[in-house]
Amino acid sequence: MVLIWGDIKGSTPSQIEVISAIEYDDYIEIITESKVTGDASALSRPFCIIKTTKTHKKMVIKSNISTSGIIDS
């Protein structure tokens, strides 16, 4: 299992979605989208869990950020 923790510089994402997970020969690429909505200065930190098969491959996580609402820094 892979835990992806939400942490965007200066704000808090309200939702994290996995867009895709692609397995290559030597690594697994996971692409997520963090959505920041409303008052982003909230204390909560969202996360998502990805269930994978047991592997020794390196995991590369790439994140896109989508924002709307009030974002405090």
pLDDT given at position 73 = 40
Q: Which residue has the higher pLDDT, 7 or 59?
A: 59
Q: How many CB atoms lie within 10 A of CB 7?
A: 13
3-state DSSP percent of the chain in helix, strand and coil, to 5: 0, 55, 45
Residues of the chain with pLDDT > 70: what percent? 41
Please give the residue that has the higher pLDDT: either 40 or 26: 26
Domain ranges (residues) in the chain: 2-66
pLDDT in tens, 21-39: 888 998 888 888 777 665 5
What is the reported pTM?
Answer: 0.53
Half-sphere exposure of 35 (CA within 13 A, CB side): 9
